[in-house]
Chain A
């Protein structure tokens, strides 16, 4: 019997071949369709979160002018904006969207290992989004407890959405974790088992390394969120006291007694901090590939980049309590978590150096994906440096509840990954659609977004130094805040509205280009990685036609001296080496005898 490699043993392939419009576009098991479904839902829900942020900014910038939201809906907007952006948009888009599209293509596989589970994953994710958004339409509205959902505040009558809103939020998160687990099992198993012939782990593009490691982090970190959600649901619905302490509300003692709110904080941040890297690591991987391709240079320090991804992933599990300095802890714990936080800066800085060195003396092609990728380096350095400030206990304590923190985390895990997402969307758009986007519109989108986000977040650092508190609906008359701070707030709001409106350019560009864009051909960027070498663009179901590719080299052979072009694709053999179909194989063991 002919030996069939693992990656081509997909007996389900025929079974899930689409036979109707519904099985092709709705209940599809094709990883590419699922990726677009994930991406579409994530972007749609992200737009909801963006609108909420603009409502908040209009209140903060012009508190007496607009009457769009009241204090309750302000807190609800803060909460929903934060949770949607972090979990339902960034995580879903980077892992569910890019992970689904790129893993099988970059691994030379026909699909994910478990296509049916993959399909379930996206629809369970859709269900979690529906549950979350339904909280806008229940009595009391969505929860306004802040995205960290700290008890006992979440359950008290003074907090908006303390009844149905918080229950729906927790339920939605639990459902999301189930969806993520189904998808995550697929991603890791596909990377480990379904790589094509010749594709060793160290020949994987950094995109796959980033997504793979982030998925492993997610699989081990999301259980903490699930556990805390389940226990809090017990507290809210069954009257238990896991987290709820004895509380007197409006003169009436509640039924709870003796629970530990700090326990919730530990569980939440044991998930919450790795979550930062669940978002960051895929972005690191994607941007590495975009930078390398458009600089026409191999990524600088590939091995160190892989080690840094793994080191960051490991360290991300031992820094969580730096989010809890203001909750109070033993000084030695504070010292420990401050130290680990500073240590994690080492592999992170290493990656930044390597991105910059990749650009050094490269034959840089300044097109739109490259604009966004270089923009990311700026914003990430910026956000990373302020993280070093906040990692220290003595600096964090006075700054923790100010706009300095808002500026920091938006720069490092808001703007930075979003710039990478745009870089990646523009970079892989020709492969997904077969057409080029409008370059001018994309560059205009970049400049407004990049400069606009600086106009938003740079002043926020100064507001933080002034002591302007975050999470406030209105500042009122506060002696220590000068009136000029309000002028800055108004300017920030105007910049936010401009940046928000500029995103329309992106959608117009995408939809216009889908119909009118120039045909891209299979590999418009001259990229060496496998996904650009498919026989069809966009790739058809099964990706590779009759035969899976064979990999002969790493994915960064750019500007190779003596090569015909300035890149050599991964599936092209060296001149003096026989191609795969000319070699002889031991069919029982799948071992090449070419060198024997």
Chain B
């Protein structure tokens, strides 16, 4: 669909059926994928707003940068593995294969859970070292951004758990293909978001 062409159409002149059974301008994708696209855009806006707030708040004089724990690298690796496993599951489901599908899909979620556990461990270590949430705005943002990212992951894990139950109870790859694809897209998105957060936290 050309947006320009659509918006310059003269509907009072064109009579009769336009398009096929689906109207012009509808995406080829299933509605779930379209809705996920919108949701990812909204989530991007949310994280961008926090990013802008971070930059503005950082410029004020009481900002004391937080030394990011090295464990963040390990956690990043866990989330990357999670994303890779989801991609493997997606490729397997697309090929209509059953073999390794369950292991890849479940594994993806388990590594995401490990990532969350790792992030919580970092929080505990920071607290034990006296870096509390209200000690400094840099600390506040660290807890806030990582927490918000975890909240998004938990939302994804809820969908993942439902799809996992369907897979375990014997659903065929084609029945869960869309769920797996959407989970994979979401996980890639959250990996990218995490990499951006990590980069901002590490370089300021």
A: residues with CB less than 8 A from B are 3, 5-7, 113-114, 181, 185-186, 188-189, 192-203, 219-220, 223-224, 226-227, 230-231, 234, 238-242, 255, 257-260, 263, 267, 270, 298, 302-303, 306-307, 310, 550-554, 556-557, 573-574, 577, 580, 583, 585-586, 589-592, 594
User: B140 near A306 (CB under 8 angstroms)?
Assistant: no
CB atoms of A238 and B133 under 8 A apart:
yes
Q: Is the CB of A552 within 8 A of B7?
A: no
Residues of B within 8 A of A (CB): 6-12, 15-27, 31, 34-35, 38-39, 41-42, 45-46, 49-50, 53, 56-57, 60-63, 133-134, 137, 140, 144, 148
CA distance A491 to B23 in the complex (A): 56
A202, chain B: closest CB distance, angstroms: 4
**B7 to A198, Cβ gap below 8 A?**
no
On whether the beta carbons of A193 and B57 are closer than 8 Å, the reply is: no
Residues on B with C-beta less than 8 A from A240 are: 133-134, 137, 140
Apart from A114-B35, A227-B46, A552-B16, 11 more pairs, CB < 8 Å:
A181-B42, A185-B39, A195-B25, A200-B19, A223-B46, A224-B49, A238-B140, A239-B134, A242-B53, A303-B8, A553-B15
CA distance A114 to B33 in the complex (A): 12
Q: Is the CB of A580 within 8 A of B137?
A: no
The interface residues of chain B, by DSSP majority, are classed as loop
| Inter-subunit contact A219/B17 (CB<8 Å) | no
> With A302-B11, A303-B8 in contact, is A255–B22 under 8 Å at CB?
no
Q: Which residue of A lies closest to B5 (CB)?
A: A202
Q: Which residues from chain B contact A589 at a C-beta distance below 8 Å?
A: 20
Question: A197 — which chain B residues lie within 8 A by C-beta?
Answer: 17, 19-23
Contact A189 B35 (CB under 8 A): yes
- Could you tell me the distance between the alpha carbons of A189 and B35 in the complex, rounded to whole angstroms? 6
**In whole angstroms, what is the CA distance A223 to B22 when docked?**
32
Contact check, B34 vs A552: say whether CB atoms are below 8 A apart. Answer: no
Contacts of A270 in B (CB 8 A): 49
Check if A241 sits within 8 Å of B42, measured CB to CB. Answer: no
Q: A231-B53, A238-B134 are in contact. Are A200 and B11 (CB under 8 A)?
A: yes
Minimum CB–CB distance from B151 to chain A (whole Å) comes to: 10
Q: Which residue, of A113, A223, A241, A306, has the highest number of chain B Cβ atoms within 10 A?
A: A223
Query: Within the complex, what minimum Cβ distance (angstroms) separates B197 from chain A?
Result: 14
B9 touches A202 (CB 8 A): yes
A234 touching B17, Cβ below 8 Å: no
Q: Is the CB of B31 within 8 A of A6?
A: yes
Q: Which residues of A contact B62 (CB under 8 A)?
A: 241, 257-258
| Complex-state Cα separation, A6 to B140, whole angstroms | 46
Q: Are B12 and A592 in contact (CB under 8 A)?
A: no
Question: A200 and B49: CB pair below 8 A?
Answer: no
Q: How far is the CB of A7 from chain B (nearest CB, A)?
A: 8
